[in-house]
Structure formats: C-alpha cells, structure tokens
Amino acid sequence: MKQIFTLVLFMAALFPAMGQQDHNFEVAKNLDIFNAFYKELDLYYVDTLDAQKLVRAAINGMLDELDPYTEYYSEKSREDLKQMTTGKYAGIGAIIQYNKKTDRCVIGDPFDGNPAAKAGLRAGDVILSIDGKDIGQRGSRDAAEYSQSVSDALRGEPGSSFEIRVQRPGVSEPLTLTIVRETVAVPAITFYGMADSLTGYILLSEYTEDCARHVRRAIVDLKQQGMERLVLDLRGNGGGLMSEAVSLVGLFIPKGKEVLHTKGKIDEMNQTYKTTDDPLDLDLPLAVLVNGSTASAAEITSGALQDYDRAVILGSRTYGKGLVQQPRDLPYGTQMKLTTSKYYIPSGRCVQAYDFQHRNADGSPRHLPDSLCGEFHTEAGRVVRDGGGITPDVVQPADTMSALAAYLLYSDELFDFCNAYRNAHDSLTTPDAYELPDAVFDSLKAHLSRAGFTYDRETKRLFAALERAARLEGTADSARTEFAALRAKLSPNLEADLDRHRDEVSRLVSTELIRRYYYAAGVARYAMRHDELVARAVRLLDSPDEMRRLLGQNGE
C-alpha cells in the first residue's frame, strides 16, 4: 500500500511537469514556424516587405485574441504609456482634432494654465503651419494618422519654442503666435470646491502619479473652508495606478488594513496591498459617485470603501475591470503593458465583469450574468456581489440624453457657434452664476437653421422599422393613408424640438461656452450646480440616520 501511495504522489507531481513541457514545446514549435514563415515571405514574395508593418500587424493580431488592456508600444509610442501613468508630456497642452469643414486640424480644447492657453490659442483655431512648415490639408490620408502627425509636431523638448500660424474664425488675417513647450501635467483632480456650506466636492478624473496626495491637499483645503462631509466623484474615471488607489483609500481607513490582493499565474504576481500611512480622517462622512465608466483603480477605491462600510456609494453599476497590468521592457526600446493578475478587494470579491477568453459568437467578450455572481459580505455584514463591477448602495441610473442633444453635442455647428461667441465676447458670467440668456438661445436656433443642422429622431427610426414590418406582413398598402399622416406628424421640426428640449439644450450650450472661458474646472463647477446625483448625495450626507442605515450601522 505504501508503494502505491508513493507512486500516486509521483504521478501527481509528474503530470504538471509533463504538461509544462508540452506547453513549452508548443511555444517553441510555433515560434519556429512563424520565424520560418516570415523568412520565406521576405525571400520569395514578389514585392519588398515592410518588416515593421507586418510584424506589428502580427502582434496586433495576437493582442486581438486577448484582453484590450494588453498592449504593445513601439520605441516611438512608448511615451504614450509614460503619459498614461504620470499624466505628463511635453507639448502645448491642448486637444487637437480634425475638422471636416476645413479638412485641417483645429485646436479642440486648450488646458488652463498650459502653453496653448497662455499663448492665446482658442478652440476652433485652424492650424495652418508649425515653425513655418505648412501642415497641409488631410486629403486622402487617414484622419487619425493625420491628426496624430499634427499632434506629434506640436510636441517637443520642454523649453523649446516654435511659431504656430492659425486662422481664427471671424478674423480676416491669420494669427502667428510663439509658444514655449512645457511639461504638461493633466490634473488628476479636475475640480474641487464646496457644494454647500458644509459639503465638499472633489471630481477625480484619473489615477496618475501623486493623485492621492493631491486629494489629501484638497481635503485639507476644503476643511479650512468649513467642510464637514465630502462627495468624491469618480464618474467617468477609468482608473490608472493601483498604488494610488491604495493610498487614496488609506486617507479614510486605518493604517495596516488590506485594500486588495492580486492573484496571477506565477507566484510573484500574488501580492497583498495594505494601507501604509496614518489616515487623514476616519470619521469624515463620505459619499462616492460612480457610473458605468468608473473602472479599474476607481473601482478599487469605491469597492474597498464599500467593503469597509466607510462610504455610501451612489450612482449606477461600475464597468467591471478587475485585471492588473504591468509594463515589461522589450528589445530595441519597445515595451508592452500586459495583464498579469486579477485583483480582489477586502471582502474577497473580484469585480471583473468580462470574459475575454470565452467570447460570444460575434467575437465580443462575455459579460458574467448576475445569476453567476457570488455573494460576499462587508465588514458590517452587508451583502455585496462579485463579477459585475461595483453595485452602488443607492442606485440611480445615469441621466439620458435626447437624440437632439446627442447630435448637437458632437456637431460642428455647436462647436462653431460657441467658438464664434467666444471670439466676439471677451468675458462670460462665472460658472457659479451663469444661465444661458434667451437671446443666446435664439441666436443658436438661427445659427443651426442657417447651417442646415440635421439629426435623426428615435421616432424616425422606429417608424421606419414599423413600415418595413408592415410591408413584410402585407398591410402597408391598406395603411398607406395612416402612414402618410403619421409620417407628417413625426417629421423633424428643428425649432419646435429645440424649444421642447430647451432646458437640456441650454445646459449643453452653457457647458460649452463655459469651457471656452473657464476650461474644464469651470465646466465641473457649473455641472455641480445642476447635477441631480450630487444633490442627492448632499441630501444623504445631511441625514446621518440614513447614512448609518445604508452602511449597516443601525445598532451602533
């Protein structure tokens, strides 16, 4: 019996080793095949091959089979990875976008306090030349590549200067401006301020280097302004550095508490991360706002605070990214960012919602159904679930946008209108007090009408589907008169639709006008005044009994 037991143990140890040998052989075999295949192509193919282009295509093909977070960076593009983690790059500090009307790139959104804004560039300025070199129109070039080439030409070493020649709408002659490049730091905190006399508000947009330290400073500043409770807004925050999430959670929970642990294929990826510093405030009432675009490090923050019953989470369910990436150096200055592990927050749950290995028939990743999500418990015993992001304690669906507003938001017509207004008016009422004047709304209506602004209504699409169904069922002819009457009633009437959605359109236009004068921080300040979820969070923080009930602390 002892010999049989020893044999069983030997075989149990042998099979994994044999499996690893088989795997290693398959890797070596397929790499040999790929190497031989490319050599044959390069030697005998009728045309000369571009090695960089073809190998990059092969790499991209491999990456398409994995998750969207594992990426390859060429020597030229590895600065993009650095920018993602630091939030810094050397350039002018402005979004560059392609404009169909001019077939050129324009300044889309200058960042406050950065070289473009300091030099006087404005949204809508059409870029004609950089350092005397005409950038030309896009022509037949790919729009993304064309825009990237212009953006690359604007970047350079900090301290270097260049001349940019732009055509400003409404100004007859082109403008030539001198810009000194700087290290541009996109702020992790878009805005912070007081939502009311007792409630502070912080809009954290991303998790870049030192963002937790910036949040700490903002909280200290807000306390000096009288803050006694805080709304932390993580909506639209796609995450970033995991270490910053740990540090941020550590502002509100005791030192030495676990924030997350990671599990990977190899032991070195299995790590536990705990808070390392004394907390800033263990008792500050805290509400965290999330939505479907809250992901990664932002989910670690909201999830850990929920697991420790430290904050009430409000909004809609988060994205569900429970994967951890690490950069790895490759030959010739190239680099990759690859998924190495999954992370698990204090209750033991993983928020990963998508299965990239087992995809749907159309190639899209599978979303874990709610029925398969496991139950876990917070420190106070509240039930929470894994596998589908963070479900808020107070669920409020994100505001929906009408079809008219959606088309208007991304239209050249609104972009041009707001740029023209900015170029004709030197100042605008502050975001705290601004309301769109009736005269400006009427001017917008006239502008959209002259410009031939068009949009698709949802009823138009549904009506077209109804007509198709009627034709298939053979009832279209008998209902021709009724269809004609309904079609006439459903025909878009721009002026009437603008009046019907006046409040929504006015807020949209106000936001874009404020952006021209007060940049992203001004937009956030204005939005805070009109945001129902912020208002709901403020009301909740003003009700300690309700906060305790939601956090499972009624018995304390």
Instruction: Please name which of 71, 57, 58 lies closest in space to residue 30, comparing C-alpha atoms.
Output: 58
Measure Cα distances from 269 to 222, 275, 324, 354, 419 in Å: 38, 19, 10, 21, 50
Residue appearing with tokens 């990875």: 81
d(CA 64, CA 70): 9
pTM of the complete model: 0.86
Measure Cα distances from 474 to 67, 314, 470, 471, 491 in Å: 47, 50, 6, 5, 24
Instruction: Please name which of 414, 440, 415, 444 lies closest in space to residue 429, comparing C-alpha atoms.
Output: 440
Classify 322 as helix, strand or coil: coil
Query: Residue 65's pLDDT is what?
Result: 87
- 552 within 8 A of 465, measured Cβ to Cβ: no
Length of the chain equals 556
Burial 341-370 (b: 16+ CB within 10 A, else e): bbbbbbbebbbbbbebeeeeeeeeeeebee
d(CA 477, CA 470): 9
Query: Residue 361's pLDDT is what?
Result: 79
Residue appearing with tokens 């740990």: 246
Query: Residue 370's pLDDT is what?
Result: 78
Query: Which DSSP category does 372 fall into?
Result: G
d(CA 466, CA 490): 13
Q: For CA atoms 23, 24, 28, 34, give the dihedral sign.
A: positive
Residue appearing with tokens 């690859």: 338
Measure Cα distances from 369 to 67, 86, 290 in Å: 19, 35, 21
From first to last of its 556 residues, the chain has per-residue pLDDT tens of 555 555 555 555 555 555 667 778 888 898 899 999 999 998 998 999 898 899 899 999 988 888 889 999 887 776 676 666 666 678 899 999 999 889 999 999 999 999 999 999 999 999 999 999 998 999 888 988 899 899 989 988 889 999 999 999 989 999 999 999 998 878 899 999 999 999 999 999 999 999 999 999 999 999 999 999 999 999 999 999 999 999 999 999 999 999 999 999 888 889 999 999 999 999 999 999 999 999 999 999 999 999 999 999 999 999 999 999 888 888 888 898 999 999 999 999 999 988 888 788 777 788 878 777 889 999 999 999 987 899 999 999 888 888 889 999 989 999 999 999 999 999 999 999 999 999 999 999 999 999 989 887 666 666 567 667 777 777 767 777 766 766 666 666 889 899 999 999 999 999 999 999 999 999 999 999 999 999 999 999 999 999 999 999 875 4
Q: For CA atoms 212, 215, 220, 223, give the dihedral sign.
A: negative
What is the chain's alpha carbon radius of gyration, rounded to the nearest angstrom?
28
Instruction: List, as one string, the DSSP characters of 215-269.
Output: HHHHHHHHHHTT--EEEEE-TT---B-HHHHHHHHTTTS-TT-EEEEEEESSGGG
d(CA 517, CA 430): 9
Measure Cα distances from 4 to 7, 16, 18, 314 in Å: 5, 19, 20, 59
Residue 322, sorted as left (phi over 0), alpha (psi -120 to 50) or beta, turns out to be: alpha
d(CA 48, CA 507): 56
- 321 within 8 A of 351, measured Cβ to Cβ: yes
d(CA 150, CA 103): 13
H/E element, 344: strand 335-344
Tokens linked to 31: 């790499």
Measure Cα distances from 379 to 182, 283, 304, 348 in Å: 47, 16, 10, 11
- 273 within 8 A of 300, measured Cβ to Cβ: no
- 153 within 8 A of 165, measured Cβ to Cβ: no
CB atoms within 10 A of CB 234: 29
Partnered with residue 9 across adjacent β-strands are none
Query: Residue 556's pLDDT is what?
Result: 47
d(CA 366, CA 361): 10
Q: For CA atoms 541, 542, 544, 550, give the dihedral sign.
A: negative
- 164 within 8 A of 68, measured Cβ to Cβ: no
d(CA 276, CA 257): 8
**Where in the sequence numbering do the catalytic residues fall?**
296, 307, 321
- 205 within 8 A of 188, measured Cβ to Cβ: yes
Beta carbons within 8 Å of 97's beta carbon, 6+ residues apart: 105, 106, 108, 147
d(CA 60, CA 168): 40
- 240 within 8 A of 204, measured Cβ to Cβ: no
